[in-house]
Amino acid sequence: MFSKQALKAGLISLLIFLAFVGAWSLATHQKEGPAATGADAEYAALMGKGAEKSSGFPPPSKVAESFVTYLADPFYDKGPNDKGVGIQLAHSLARVGVGFLLAVAVALPLGFAIGMSPLLLQAFNPFIQILKPISPLAWMPLALYSLKDSDISGIFVIFICSLWPMLINTAFGVASVRRDWINVARTLEVGPLRKAFLVILPAAAPTILTGMRISMGIAWLVIVAAEMLVGGTGIGYFVWNEWNNLALPNVIFAVVMIGLVGMLLDQLFGVLQKLVTYRE
Amino acid sequence: MSTRFLSVEGLKKAYPGSSTPVFENIHFGIEQGEFVCIIGHSGCGKTTILNVLAGLEEASAGGVIMDGREISGPSLDRGVVFQSHALMPWMTVLGNVAFAVKSKWPDWPKVKIEAHSTRYLEMVGLGHAIHKKPAELSGGMKQRVGIARAFAIQPKMLLLDEPFGALDALTRGTIQDELLKIVQATHQTVFMITHDVDEAILLADKVILMSNGPLAKIAEIVEITMPRDRTRAEMHHDPQFYRIRNHLVDFLVNRSKDYAGSDAAVLHDAKHPPVVRPGLIAGEALDDDAPRPSRQLKQVVNQ
C-alpha cells in the first residue's frame, strides 16, 4: 500500500520534472530563432566572441553540458579563479562546519545554564530577543574590521547565525524536562554532573537536535551570501564568479548543487534526530 | 511518640496567596515494618504530605523525623514510586533500575549492579523484559519497573504515590498481590496514598483517614485488625472485611466532607487522632475499652 503510493509519487515527480525541462527547452529554443532584434545584434557585436555564451537564457542542454564537465572532474585546481566544484563545496562546508561547531560549543553550555535557571533566562532574554532577528550578514563589516581576515569573518557569520536557534532550543528543552524525571534524580541523590548528562541531556536531546537542524539550515543559506561578499573560495564565490563570467549554465549548475548539499545536510540531521528521539 | 521509626509532627502546608492552609497540625507516626495507607478526597493534601516525607517539598511548618533524624531534602533512605511511573524512556528497563542502584552504590562494578538490578526486576516478574524500552511495556509493567527501582535501592522506607491509580482493575489486582508478597518478605516500611478502599484493606496495617481540605485533618486512624497473611482472593470471606470496608466507605462518602462542623471535630485532638478498630465487634475487643452503646461495631481507642 505504502510502496505503491511511493511508486506513484515518484512517477508524478518524474513527470513534473520532465514537464519543467520540456517547457524550459521550448521557451529557450524560441529565442534562438532568426528574429534577433537590433539591440541584441548590437550587444552581440559589443561582446565579440563571448556573445555566443550570452545569447539569452541557456537551454537545458547547455546546463546539462556544464553538469557533465564539472561533475566529471570535481576536484581540479587551476589557480584561484578556476577550481572544481568539489573543492568549492568543500571550502563552504568547512566554513559552515567550523562556525557551526563553535556555535555548538557556546550554545549548549549556555543554553543549559539558561534553561536550568529561571533567573538567568530572564536576564539573558532581552539580549537574545534583540540579537536573534539581526541578519547575520549585517555583522560582516564589523567582523571584517575587527577580525581583519575574510575567512574568519565568514566563519564568524556562520557562528552568529547558528547560535540563536540552538541556544533557544537548548534552553527550552532543558527548562521543560519532565518534573518527574528531575524528582527521580533528586530522590536518588544524583550528583549535578551525572544529572546533567544522564537525565537532562537525553531528555532535552530531541529539542536540542531540532535547534541544530534549524541552525544548519540557516547556516547553509547564509554561507552562499557570505562567500559572495567575501570572495576567494566557496560555492557562493563560485556562483558570483560565474555570474561575472556571464556563464549562466554554470550558475544554474551551482544553484542545483547548493540545493542538493543543503538537502543532504538536513537529512543528516534528520537521522541524528531520529537517533535521540525516544518514545514514551 | 519519640520512639517511633517515623514521626510527623505539626505539619502544615499553606500555598502563597492563599489564606487558609491546605492542612495544619498533622501528627502521626509509623512503626518500623508497618504498612500505612492514607485515604482522602482530592485536595486534602495527601500528595503534599508524601512529598514532604520524600523531601521533594517543604512544609510551611512542622517537621518529620525518621530514624532519629529530621528529614531535609530527598534522600536514598526513602524510595519513591511515582504515580506516573516516571521511567526514563531513553533507558532500557534494566538501565532504569541500574541507574538507581548505581546512585546508591557508586563503587559497585557494572556486573554487580546489573545482577542486583536483574534480581529485583525478576522479583516483580519482569525478568524476560529487562532489555526492552519502557515504551514497549504495558502500563502495569511500567509501574512494576518503578516498584523494582524503588525496592532495589533498599530504602529504609518506601513512599508510594497512588501507584496503581492509572491501571485497570485486573492488572491492579495482580500487582497488589506482588507488592503484598514483597512487602511481607522484606518487612519494608511503607507509606502509600490510595483512593481504593479494598487496596488499603488488603495492604495496610493502618489507614489514615483525612477529612476534606482546606484545613484538612487526620479524622481517624483505622487499624486493620485482619490477620496479616490476608490475600486478595480470601480477604472478603473474613467477617471483619465488610465492617472495615463499610466504615471506610461511610467515612469517604458521608463524614469526610462535613467533618469540620461535626462533634468529632470539636473533640478532635490533633496530636492524638482517634484510633478505631471497626473490624472488631465488642466481644473481640483487643483492648479493655467498654463498648460504646451507639456503635456496637466500632471501638474508639485513644492512644
A184 close contact with B: CB closer than 8 A: yes
The partner residue sitting opposite B56, judged by closest CB among A183, A198, A276, is A183
> Given this model, what pLDDT does residue A94 score?
94
> Given this model, what pLDDT does residue B190 score?
94
Task: With CB atoms and an 8 Å threshold, state whether B55 touches A198.
Answer: no
Residues of B in contact with A279 (CB under 8 A): 89, 133, 135
Mean pLDDT value of segment B276-300: 54
Nearest by Cα to A172 from A116, A131, A224: A116
> Given this model, what pLDDT does residue B272 score?
79
B54 close contact with A: CB closer than 8 A: yes
Q: Checking DSSP bridges between strand B218-223 and strand B275-276, what pairing results, if any?
A: parallel
Confidence of residue A187 (pLDDT cuts 50, 70, 90): very high
Mean pLDDT value of segment A270-278: 93
Search chain A and give the residue with CA nearest B52.
Answer: A187
Mean pLDDT of chain B: 85
Over pLDDT 70: what percentage of chain B?
A: 89
Chain segment A105-138, per-residue pLDDT in tens:
999 999 999 999 999 999 999 999 999 999 999 9
- In the predicted structure, residue B8 carries a pLDDT above the cut 80: yes
- In the predicted structure, residue A149 carries a pLDDT above the cut 70: yes
Cell of B22: 491546605
Question: Running DSSP on this structure, what letter comes out for residue B291?
Answer: P
Residue A97 sits at φ, ψ, to 5 deg, of -60, -50
Tell me the shortest Cα–Cα distance from A216 to chain B, in angstroms: 25
The partner residue sitting opposite A190, judged by closest CB among B103, B133, B134, is B103
A50 close contact with B: CB closer than 8 A: no
Residues of A in contact with B134 (CB under 8 A): 280
Cell of B252: 469517604
Mean pLDDT value of segment B281-288: 53
Alpha helices in chain A (DSSP H): 2-31, 38-47, 51-54, 60-72, 85-116, 118-131, 140-147, 150-175, 179-187, 192-195, 201-230, 235-244, 248-276
Chain segment A79-101, per-residue pLDDT in tens:
777 788 889 999 999 999 999 99
Residues of A in contact with B100 (CB under 8 A): 184, 188
Mean pLDDT value of segment B133-160: 92
The partner residue sitting opposite B99, judged by closest CB among A198, A276, A280, is A198
> Given this model, what pLDDT does residue A53 score?
47
Confidence of residue A48 (pLDDT cuts 50, 70, 90): low
Tell me the shortest Cα–Cα distance from B75 to chain A, in angstroms: 5
Chain segment B176-211, per-residue pLDDT in tens:
888 888 888 888 999 999 988 999 999 999 999 988
The partner residue sitting opposite B90, judged by closest CB among A188, A194, A278, is A278
- Within 10 angstroms of residue A58's Cβ, the number of other Cβ atoms is 21
Search chain B and give the residue with CA nearest A185.
Answer: B100
Chain segment B22-57, per-residue pLDDT in tens:
888 889 999 999 999 999 888 888 899 999 999 999
Tell me the shortest Cα–Cα distance from B180 to chain A, in angstroms: 23
Task: With CB atoms and an 8 Å threshold, state whether A187 touches B99.
Answer: no
Q: Checking DSSP bridges between strand B206-210 and strand B35-39, what pairing results, if any?
A: parallel
B297 close contact with A: CB closer than 8 A: no
The residue with greater pLDDT, B303 or B88, is: B88
Q: For A189-228, give the DSSP string.
A: T--HHHHIIIIIHHHHHHHHHHHHHHHHHHHHHHHHHHHH
Search chain B and give the residue with CA nearest A205.
Answer: B90
Alpha helices in B17-133 (DSSP H): 46-54, 93-104, 110-123
> Given this model, what pLDDT does residue B264 score?
67
Q: Is residue B188 classed as helix, strand or coil in its secondary structure?
A: coil
Length of chain A: 280
> Given this model, what pLDDT does residue A35 score?
47
B145 close contact with A: CB closer than 8 A: no
Confidence of residue B110 (pLDDT cuts 50, 70, 90): very high
B105 close contact with A: CB closer than 8 A: no
B80 close contact with A: CB closer than 8 A: yes
Confidence of residue B85 (pLDDT cuts 50, 70, 90): confident
Mean pLDDT value of segment A148-173: 93
Tell me the shortest Cα–Cα distance from A275 to chain B, in angstroms: 10
> Given this model, what pLDDT does residue B282 score?
56
